[in-house]
Structure 1
Amino acid sequence: MTDAFEWFGLPYGWAWFLATIIGILLIALPLMLAVAMIIYVDRKIWAAMALRRGPNVVGPWGLLQSFADGLKVFLQETIIPSAANKILFLLAPIITFTVALIVWAVVPFDAGVVLSDINVGLLYVLAASSLGVYGIILAGWASNSKYPFYSAIRAAAQMVSYEVSIGFVLIAVVLWAGSFNLSAIVEAQRGYYAEFLGVGINGNFINPLLFPMAIVFFISSLAETQRAPFDLTEAESELVAGYQTEYSSMSFALYWLGEYANVILMCTLNATLFWGGYLPPIDWAPLYYVPGILWLFAKILFFFFCFSWVKATVPRYRYDQLMRLGWKIFLPLSLFFVFLVSGFLMWQRVGLPA
């Protein structure tokens, strides 16, 4: 590190600080651009599935529509309800947006390309992403309005319900990989069935013990990010617009950006935990000439298409159906597979001849 910054004459402490800031900007700035473009892609996918055109006026093919929307909210007046708790009202969207960014610190974009390669990366992801519910709860309570408050209560119950099953899914993945480190989890997905096929398949999705967990994790990701058919926190016919009803201008934009940043994050976690992350689909040498970040990007786009596909085609659940799915189906199923995976690994360790 010191040698790398020797040209600037910086001591090690300042060199480390500067390298960290540069690393953060290299993640945060492209992520913000990706959020703007992914909103455009989302609307284009919905339009195509409904036989509409979608954004096509602002910029070539409508590519600048997201930036026009951002400029619009930036120029709007920030309105704070007179009965609201002003400090918490303004703090809530900041929490949501910040939490959506800090999780990316441990995401591996390629072999060795990660901002903070900590041993408990998956625990950090689970802990940091769980904090997002505070921004929603504070928005509903601080608005001093019944519709946002109802939405916040729904969001709290919904996120707790599905984080329990997500937690058990992650336990199964950690047991199989033998590590909480996300890079180690990706590397543990190499070469499935290489002895039978002659070439290995990369990804836990091919593992019969983890494939059901991949399905549970994907559906739970939809609920965790309040996407359809689990968008009960923003049910327009019931709650006007949900927890952000009273927000305007940039405070609304922070929720807008945070929501899509969380969607991209959950797509990334789906790709990282079950589909090989930055690894190519097949463990074949020529495919490794393609940079790992491009493989990861392609997988993220695939899962985002699945998110949009579900939103465009599946009707909204009732709230009792949402709770039943989380507590009566996903929780027992994920718990059963934790016992199944741990039992198989124990049998493999002590039951098979050396």
Structure 2
Amino acid sequence: MTQTLAADIAIIAVKLGLVFFVILTLAAYLVYAERRILAWIQDRKGPNRVGPLGLLQPLADLIKMLAKEDVRPAGADKWLFYLAPAMAAIPAILIFAVIPFGAPLHLLEREIPMVVSDLNVGLLFFMALSSIAVYGVAIGGWASNSKYALLGSIRGLAQLISYELSMGLSLVPVVMLARSFRLTDIVNAQAGGWFILYQPVAFVIFLVSIAAECKRVPFDIPEAEGELVAGFHTEYSGMRFGLFFVGEYINIIVLGGLATTLFLGGWHGPVLPPVAWFSLKVLAFAFFFIWMRGTLPRLRYDQLMHFGWKVLTPLALLNILVTGWWLMLR
């Protein structure tokens, strides 16, 4: 019994370390990839000096951030000011604990699930943590004691709450089809066909909502530098400033992983290993977000709120009714 418990703890520790390393490495190189892809879209070179093809640029950025002075405004709330960047990054990392990234492995006469924690309420766990991430934006703007940062955080709060509703409603049909909140069950339910084929409307609503959750163009209203200097993190410098951006790119990876799990069959796919299929789908979502940033203009604030409340939310509710009617007929 003791040996079994020790083995279970060791397996969880290895999976935690692996997920933590992969997410942080991917987030760092997603910054590099975004700068290179945007440079290609805008017909310029991008980072190409540090290391071969500029591949060591993320390391140079990290050293630069660590070397910068960590400044705190005189009127800022000390502890909340220090807490906000962590609250932007940590919930995103915790969400990945319930995302299955491959089929279970059979090793040493044991079945090892390729997920850190296979919760039976994994989808609700994701919704809870994505709601907590809102506090990072709110606290960062309020604790800075700056009107520009405060306006950015108020915009961010309104945006995240608005699109959180439509995102949650878009997931109801997925639960109705899979009959489970467990993410591994949702992936297994797509063995015969991905949910994007049955729920294209829910997929589009979820995709738009997660773009707004990540505060990506055209939904980067909280960071509108033309109007708010830089948004809710205006007063941050050094590594705390970097943490906000690390949290944003971790969010892209995590929400891309969730979209893959919920609508694109998770690890299912021919020829390639399951983990490879999952990784390719997540990277495709990351490329899509970068592509949007290079091509779309920013929405006005009233357009953003109108689209969230008057278009996406009613459409998501109608989709739930149609899905329920279809399942009842079946």
TM bracket, shorter-chain basis: over 0.9
Deviation at 1:191, TM superposition (A): 2.0
Matched, 1:275 2:276: no
1:36-58 CA-partner distances (Å, limit 9, x unpaired): 11111111111111111111111
Show structure 2 runs of 5+ residues with no match.
Answer: 105-113
Q: TM-score, normalised by structure 2?
A: 0.94
Partner of 1:297: 279
Partner of 2:163: 162
**Between 108-117 and 231-240, the greater mean CA deviation after superposition:** 108-117
In 2, Cα distance between equivalents of 1:274 and 1:298: 14
In 1, Cα distance between equivalents of 2:168 and 2:272: 33
1:134-169 CA-partner distances (Å, limit 9, x unpaired): 011000010000011001101110001001000111
In 1, Cα distance between equivalents of 2:4 and 2:261: 33
In 1, Cα distance between equivalents of 2:8 and 2:258: 28
Matched, 1:333 2:315: yes
Partner of 1:53: 45
In 2, Cα distance between equivalents of 1:236 and 1:173: 37
1:218-249 CA-partner distances (Å, limit 9, x unpaired): 11111011000000000000010111111111
Partner of 1:67: 59
Deviation at 1:11, TM superposition (A): 5.2
Deviation at 1:67, TM superposition (A): 1.3
Matched, 1:231 2:216: no
Partner of 2:247: 258
Matched, 1:217 2:230: no
In 1, Cα distance between equivalents of 2:177 and 2:223: 37
Query: Residues 189 and 15 of structure 1: is their aligned pair in 2 closer, same or farther, counting only changes over 3 Å?
Result: closer
In 2, Cα distance between equivalents of 1:90 and 1:78: 10
Matched, 1:343 2:325: yes
Partner of 1:195: none
Matched, 1:86 2:68: no
The answer to whether the 8 Å contact 1:229/1:317 transfers is yes
Question: Aligned letter for 2:41?
Answer: M
1:231-280 CA-partner distances (Å, limit 9, x unpaired): 00000000101111111111112111111000111111111111111111
1:302-344 CA-partner distances (Å, limit 9, x unpaired): 1111111111000000000000110000000000001111111
In 2, Cα distance between equivalents of 1:153 and 1:65: 33
Partner of 2:109: none
Question: Aligned letter for 2:249?
Answer: Y
Show structure 1 runs of 5+ residues with no match.
Answer: 3-9, 193-202, 281-286, 349-354
Partner of 1:206: 197
Deviation at 1:33, TM superposition (A): 0.6
In 1, Cα distance between equivalents of 2:32 and 2:304: 28
Q: What is the correspondence of 1:74-223 to structure 2 with a 5 Å cutoff?
A: 74-112=66-104, 113-192=114-193, 203-207=194-198, 210-223=199-212
Q: Specify the SS of the correspondent of 2:49.
A: coil
In 2, Cα distance between equivalents of 1:85 and 1:22: 38
Q: Which structure: larger Rg?
A: 1
Question: Aligned letter for 1:155?
Answer: G
Question: Aligned letter for 1:157?
Answer: A
Matched, 1:242 2:243: no
The answer to whether the 8 Å contact 1:111/1:183 transfers is no
The answer to whether the 8 Å contact 1:226/1:232 transfers is yes
The answer to whether the 8 Å contact 1:227/1:311 transfers is yes
Question: Aligned letter for 2:226?
Answer: S
- Size of the aligned set, in residue pairs, is 321
**Between 142-151 and 62-71, the greater mean CA deviation after superposition:** 62-71
In 2, Cα distance between equivalents of 1:266 and 1:46: 21
